[in-house]
Structure 1
Amino acid sequence: MFDRSRLVVESRSPRELPRRLSWALKRAGVRPTRDVLVVSVAAQQMMVFRRASRASSPPLYLQTRRFRVSTSRKGAGQVEGSNQTPLGLHRIARKHGGGQPIGTVFQSRQPVGLLWEGRPGAAICHRILWLEGLEDGWNRGGNVDTFRRYIYIHGFGDESTIGRPASIGCIHVSASDLLPLFDRTPVGAVVWITP
């Protein structure tokens, strides 16, 4: 069966980032980065945008990818211990797992084995993109700090859950989408998580 979720979606022409994202960036005093990831909790999908030109103001972007994800089964929310996916502006603070074989299982961001070594239900595998909130009091600082909540974009042992809410706060991505995302997206890239 043809899986439309794995298509590389190329914009026909460059366009501005979504208006609500542009407003959020301006309000937070954050400049858009070359690569911008947009996660929709409602649609259970991620869109990847890449700046087309530095010369334009505002900058124009091409949507280069769209794929399914899995966010929290408890919905969206900011508070530590809620097991919900945090909303708002974030950035990729750290990357873990580069150079590890596909199927690597992680605990505390350290490789501990492989999926086919009896770890099929591994909670975190393949690669990790650790998120940091960019909005004070909303997803940064206090009991709403995304980074201190250990919220990642990462692989998951049971990929059958991708496309529906199933995580405990993180954003799960299939290995086939996560590996190129990890390789192409630098630390510092903006990630916007919407309801």
Structure 2
Amino acid sequence: MIDEGRDVQDWLAISIPRQRLWLCHGWRKTLDWPVSTAAAGVGEREGSGATPRGWHRIRAMIGASLPAGTVFVGRRPTGEIYSPTLAARAPERDWILTRILWLTGSEPGRNRGGAVDTLRRFIYIHGTPEAEPMDEPRSHGCIRMRNDDVIALFNRCRPGMPVLIEDGD
């Protein structure tokens, strides 16, 4: 998936065991951040609540000019900014905050198409409340990041950028 021809390509690597995301330039890791992947582990099946593995691409980038803490529902800003008071009023919400990098699978039969389609499962890299722990699996399938971290990442990404999610060291 990475073309090491004339142009060195930027891409993202996510390690499930290490709970880390790296921005890579060619085969060199240039920046890294802690993440939180699925509490249900790894898996591609619709309804599993698991983080899908393999090669993906960034399908869409949402929230570019919005303030940190912007609340999203259905990939649309609600007009709310996350706060502990808001969280107390809606304790059941799975908070999707600040920015969304919506992923699509690149491997037919593994993470693209049918009951294993990452895009139709609405798998994102997104911001989360600061009180949520990083470095441990706690999400519902997505890759969660601190809000400042997801902004820093978002500003270095582009639609179509390759993303590799691995469950091995």
Residues 1:189 and 2:161 aligned together? yes
Q: Which residue of 2 aligns with 1:48?
A: 23
Gaps of 5+ in 1: 1-24, 52-60
What one-letter code is carried by the residue in structure 2 that aligns with 1:155?
G
Q: Which residue of 2 aligns with 1:39?
A: 14
Choose the corresponding residue for 2:144, options 172, 181, 184.
172
Over the residues paired in the alignment, what is the CA RMSD in angstroms? 1.7
Q: Give per-residue Cα distances to partners, 1:118-167, cap 9 Å, x unaligned.
A: 33365100000000000000000000000000000001124432110000
Contact 2:11 2:162 in 1 (8 A): yes
Whole-angstrom distance in 1 between the partners of 2:84 and 2:76: 16
What one-letter code is carried by the residue in structure 2 that aligns with 1:107?
V
What one-letter code is carried by the residue in structure 2 that aligns with 1:67?
W
Residues 1:100 and 2:66 aligned together? yes
Gaps of 5+ in 2: none
Q: Which residue of 2 aligns with 1:140?
A: 112
Give the SS at the match of 2:153. helix
Whole-angstrom distance in 1 between the partners of 2:84 and 2:135: 26
Give the SS at the match of 1:157. coil
Query: How far off is 1:169 after superposition?
Result: 0.2
Contact 2:20 2:33 in 1 (8 A): yes
Q: TM-score, normalized by length of structure 2? A: 0.87
Whole-angstrom distance in 2 between the partners of 1:45 and 1:141: 27
Percent identity among equivalent residues? 39
Q: TM-score, normalized by length of structure 1? A: 0.76
Whole-angstrom distance in 1 between the partners of 2:116 and 2:69: 31
Query: Which protein shows a greater Rg?
Result: 1
What one-letter code is carried by the residue in structure 1 that aligns with 2:63?
G
What one-letter code is carried by the residue in structure 1 that aligns with 2:18?
A
Query: How far off is 1:49 after superposition?
Result: 0.6
What one-letter code is carried by the residue in structure 2 that aligns with 1:68?
P
Deviating above 6 A after TM superposition, structure 1's stretches of 4 or more consecutive aligned residues are none
Q: Give per-residue Cα distances to partners, 1:97-125, cap 9 Å, x unaligned.
A: 11001110000011111113833365100
Q: Which has the higher contact order (CA 8 A, sep 6+)?
A: 2
What one-letter code is carried by the residue in structure 1 that aligns with 2:108?
D
Q: 1:125-164 residue pairs with structure 2 within 5 A?
A: 125-164=97-136
